[in-house]
Structure 1
């Protein structure tokens, strides 16, 4: 059977820039973007065109930030999508390549973040599992100082984004992807977990971290949007939301203690 024609709309670099400006994206601002490329429609130039459109809307004084996570650098004992045989675990731990911000690909966050990570002039934070990549004048300020035992807390780029007045752009992505909600988890009582990963110099290491989960973020986002100002619109076919990082974090700090289980009932192993 012949391949069916692509479904629209046709989206170009100019489409992205123009519609973001109409939405209220301002030249010179800082945007933390969570994205789904496929939600936009048929994009002429793919992820590269979308990144160029984002940078056009932000202008030379603006800074584009994306999650560049590498969750595959983790303990195979907790893998579930897919799991691996238990008899492989020790060998995987012994041979897993350590994190290299210049080489380790972003995984599980879509095509756009990997495109930003490899963009000329892009900088990437140092955490081996929950890094962020940034392009623009504030890139170094945002990505520096990401502590190896602070995935998404006060010593991560999220706290810098909050301080700098950044906004979140959900570009065809839902609230379940909204990493800034995790910053609130570090500010409320939460269990701590042992997190395994390859050590920087080779071998294996375990660090104790705050337990994080995006399991209820869609529900949290629904309530946040109901109670706070969220700009909504479209870019191509994608539903888009735009809001300040600080507003989302402050709301989550109040919401999570009311809707999360108590620490002793928390559904994740803790130490």
Structure 2
């Protein structure tokens, strides 16, 4: 299945809306989008056109969510302990404090285009925020704990409870943040420590918070592929991008159990 524009012109909002409809997007949906702008091919107007098309497809009752992660808000010397040397002090002092207007440069053009919308709202986690526009944007972004930022008290849990969907545009499940949410629900998740600066009573301090670890392509691509096969997820080409629309609730049910099995087998070796 494909939805494309003629090769000599770029994709327009109309072209993209037609494509999203074929993927399965409908008015009123809550959707978190993981996307590579370049995968679509030429788009007239770039990321702003893609965002406009997604909002048009979702309609006024729908909600568009994007990861707005800020990896630059992190300890540049995480393995250094004890009293820091002057160069470590300088590097740590250069790390910005999180604020809701901080750029999401590491996440790509589409999340940044959503974040920059005047009506966009954003959750408050220093490293793992999301930005959202639409009917449920305030609801989704209102709560996010510092620890287990994608876990039970997070925008991801709220999107799950709302019966939301994940749209993958030209990317695989190694970019699907909901699989971190699934791991947070397993009995024995892999763990890491997040470390970031905060301002407390006018003083800059460093905060540590426990979270699920990074997958680095170990299990997430396998779980995503297995779920798509089981659920009969159809791949649709929009422009030049391979796209899939994934329902959150059945994915999390499948992924939590399957990831628990894979992690248990890994530890038993």
TM-score, L = length of structure 2: 0.87
Given that 2:72 and 2:96 are in contact with CA atoms closer than 8 Å, whether structure 1 keeps it comes out as no
Residue 243 (structure 1) aligned to one of 239, 242, 246: 246
SS at 2:107's partner residue? coil
Shift in Å, 1:263: 8.4
Shift in Å, 1:71: 1.2
CA distance in structure 2 between the partners assigned to 1:87 and 1:185 by the alignment = 38
Q: What does residue range 67-78 of structure 1 map to in structure 2 within 5 Å?
A: 67-77=67-77
Shift in Å, 1:126: 0.7
Residue 117 (structure 2) aligned to one of 116, 119, 124: 119
Structure 2: any 5+ residue segments left out of the alignment? 1-6, 80-84
Q: What does residue range 22-171 of structure 1 map to in structure 2 within 5 Å?
A: 22-77=22-77, 88-101=87-100, 103-171=101-169
Given that 1:99 and 1:200 are in contact with CA atoms closer than 8 Å, whether structure 2 keeps it comes out as no
CA distance in structure 1 between the partners assigned to 2:262 and 2:255 by the alignment = 10
Q: What does residue range 142-221 of structure 1 map to in structure 2 within 5 Å?
A: 142-188=140-186, 189-201=188-200, 202-215=204-217, 216-221=219-224
The number of residues matched between the two structures is 253
Given that 2:72 and 2:95 are in contact with CA atoms closer than 8 Å, whether structure 1 keeps it comes out as no
Q: Root-mean-square deviation (CA), in Å?
A: 2.2
CA distance in structure 1 between the partners assigned to 2:14 and 2:205 by the alignment = 47
Given that 2:179 and 2:255 are in contact with CA atoms closer than 8 Å, whether structure 1 keeps it comes out as yes
Given that 2:164 and 2:248 are in contact with CA atoms closer than 8 Å, whether structure 1 keeps it comes out as yes
CA distance in structure 2 between the partners assigned to 1:53 and 1:265 by the alignment = 47
SS at 2:105's partner residue? coil
CA distance in structure 1 between the partners assigned to 2:36 and 2:160 by the alignment = 23
Shift in Å, 1:108: 2.2
User: For the structure 1 residues 235 and 147, does the alpha-carbon distance in structure 2 shift closer, same or farther, using more than 3 Å as the test?
Assistant: same
CA shift digits 1:100-135 (9 cap, x unpaired)? 01x211132211001001112100001110000000
CA distance in structure 1 between the partners assigned to 2:248 and 2:177 by the alignment = 10
CA distance in structure 1 between the partners assigned to 2:230 and 2:58 by the alignment = 28
Shift in Å, 1:260: 2.5
Given that 2:75 and 2:95 are in contact with CA atoms closer than 8 Å, whether structure 1 keeps it comes out as no
Structure 1: any 5+ residue segments left out of the alignment? 1-6, 80-85, 267-271
TM-score, L = length of structure 1: 0.86
